[in-house]
Structure 1
């Protein structure tokens, strides 16, 4: 087995932890690879192969990140094409996406014996009608937000061409079940079992036409159409990146992608354990 060890180079504690993780994995008989940047900041010795990032993703069997949810999201977008399983070690604060806490490194020994399972988490894709851009992908959420802070925006939301919501406010969040513990939860959305498939729609500070969060089946096609003055732009943000703006009348289509994020898990109740521990401050 080959593991691509990917620490967050902006976190000194992640770089320090990389040495300990590298030793555990190599002693378990696992081959390690790192990219040039990570290895230069967290040297691992002769038992680590240093490869260009793209080659490391191709040659590995599993990607192990050290950081928080942001590090996991970055790696997830890299592995959506080649479907390499992803395992996150939490060095951050909440770490809802990560699988292993910093005090649970002994679990890494189970990789060598195959004592783990892989969950395929759903991904959303968002496309702008008549735009040349390829569909944007999101593991957590697709957010439509007002471009100008001092204004509100009017949005029509359709499900399979049927109008299901019309409101004026700051924006709307389309989240995967995995992303239901992120921005959507902060905006009052439900926490959804990450093993389900579906789309959660949560309004952001609705001023007129507020409705409860909506949950749609994974085979539904959702569409959002902004209304208003020509200079009222709406920003589209997928997993905090891929910034794009649209104007009134430009439709955005959101559906579940055929791609997934394969996630290494040691417990089938990991999400529930994380919610219980982290939301209660344990």
Structure 2
């Protein structure tokens, strides 16, 4: 018997409908299902609701029904406990959500039977000056300007050695998984998501050196806000804090990766061809 935790994008009616069907199937198969966030009320199963503080190692599988944003949420909630995450694609891009809705029950049955693999994805660990506990992200951390029409000035140290300063709209530190997210729109390179690296990409920099830099996953980055303007910090698309002049942010690879469930059907190169409309010849 397995314990399954599910998160549903309640703003997508098709996700709510599929979740209702899956819950019935999970329970009829002899497994336990619990629901995180607003998912329980959306499917009228408040008896299955658990709080985020109740998530722990007792969960055997975490399922996200929605788009990549849903799986980013689930990864954030369960990855510190080593729980594998399965994404069911009810969104648009689908870089992270491998399972199509029509195959949801089949793939879950294959998971219970051990017919799957676990793909480990590097995460970032971020410590903000003045905070005691680090934050973690699967895609990226972004330090960006607060004021429209002005740049933010940032100083970057790599392993306690000064590297350079930026006058820029923002600075992205991404994982290989995040190389197809915000960093890509800022002309950063695409990196196979199973690699381990820190990808540094400036956003509209006022500098002759405007290139992305791919760094070792063992590097420790420290970014300081220089006089002129404050900055905001966003992790995986959500603003989490502010940085005032003189404050710093430290970033390195997280000790525990995200663990994504794979069935060998979502080859990264094939996904790229589909998303960018690349022809076979």
Alignment TM class, shorter chain as reference: 0.7 to 0.9
Tell whether 2:9 aligns with 1:8: yes
SS of the equivalent of 2:22 reads: helix
Q: How does 1:1-282 map to 2 (within 5 A)?
A: 1-26=2-27, 29-35=30-36, 37-43=38-44, 50-54=48-52, 57-58=55-56, 59-105=58-104, 106-129=106-129, 131-229=130-228, 232-267=229-264, 270-280=267-277
* Cα separation, partners in 2 of 1:272 and 1:108, compared to 1, 3 Å: farther
List runs of 5+ in structure 2 lacking aligned partners.
none
Distance 1:209 1:226, change over 3 A: farther
What displacement does 1:212 show?
Answer: 1.3
* Paired residues, number: 276
Q: Report the alpha carbon displacement of residue 224 of structure 1 after superposing the two structures with TM.
A: 1.5
Which TM-score applies when normalising by structure 1?
A: 0.88
CA gap of 1:20–1:274, structure 2 versus 1, over 3 A, is farther
Shift of 1:207: 1.9
DSSP-derived class of the 1:63 partner: strand
Misfit runs of 4+, over 6 Å? none
**What is the Cα deviation at residue 26 of structure 1?**
4.8
Q: C-alpha displacement at 1:111, in angstroms?
A: 1.1
Q: Quote the Cα distance in structure 2 between the aligned partners of 1:100 and 1:83.
A: 20
SS of 1:275's equivalent? helix
Is the Cα contact below 8 Å between 2:98 and 2:266 reproduced in 1?
no
Q: Which runs of 5+ in 1 are unaligned?
A: none
Distance change (3 Å), C-alpha of 1:35 and 1:223: closer
CA contact (8 A) 2:197 2:215 kept: yes
In the alignment, the residues of structure 1 paired with residue 278 and residue 94 of structure 2 have an alpha-carbon distance, to the nearest angstrom, of: 13
Tell me by how many angstroms 1:167 deviates: 2.5
Shift in Å, 1:108? 2.8
Shift of 1:217: 0.8
1:269 Cα deviation after fit? 5.3
